Amino acid sequence: MAIVAQGLDGPAPRPRPDAAAVRAVAERLGCLQLDPTSVVARSHLLVLHARLGAVDPVVVDRVAYEERALFEYWAHEASYVCTSDLAIHADRMRSWPGGDTVPARRAAAWLEANAGFRAHVLARLAAEGPLPIGAFENRAAVPHHSDPWGTPTDRSVGRMLDILWMRGEIGIARREGGTRLWDLFER
């Protein structure tokens, strides 16, 4: 039953998979996990290959970034999730960072302390459209240091983009190579 539920049963596909086949696999699985490490190929392409055969990455990009049938979000990890499931994720977006945990309280406090920085990021995207991380200057009133070893590494721009992504305020409009281009989620 697990093999059938995951779409790994049946004969190997013969025709070159199209956008409809990619959408069908994503809908069946619920999401396609993204992993920046690619020894053989990116993880979502391996998952699709196991079910459909060789999938042209251009087809996947078209489904995600042109058709908008998929969007990048943090499902259980960074993933392509089905736009038809947006309502499921929207509740989490509205309430993020929810809960009374130390990480949630820290994220909420950091976002509140950097309200001006948040407004700046949203204004830039509203005025200019999709931008890479490098286009944003660090305007954090309170820096975000993420290195547990004590190296003074300020990751404030990345942290702000990640938080706004988790909250559904911004999203990944497309990728150019491995670079994410951020835009207002509503677009």
Q: Which tens digits make up the pLDDT trace of 90-138?
A: 988 988 888 889 989 999 999 999 999 999 999 999 999 999 999 999 9
Q: Which helix (H) or strand (E) holds 63?
A: none
pTM of the full structure: 0.85
58-86 average pLDDT score: 94
For 158, the token pair is 């990345």
Decide if 183 contacts 173 (C-beta within 8 A).
yes
**Burial grade of 73 (CB within 10 A; 0-12, 13-18, 19 or more):** buried
43 or 151: whose pLDDT is higher?
Answer: 43
CA atoms of 18 and 28, how far apart (whole Å): 16
Q: What is the pLDDT of residue 4?
A: 72
pLDDT tens string 7-54:
767 766 667 899 999 999 999 999 999 886 666 677 898 889 888 888
CA distances from 150 to 141, 153, 156 (A): 20, 8, 16
∠ CA 120-126-128, rounded to 5°: 95
pLDDT tens string 164-185:
999 999 999 999 988 999 999 9
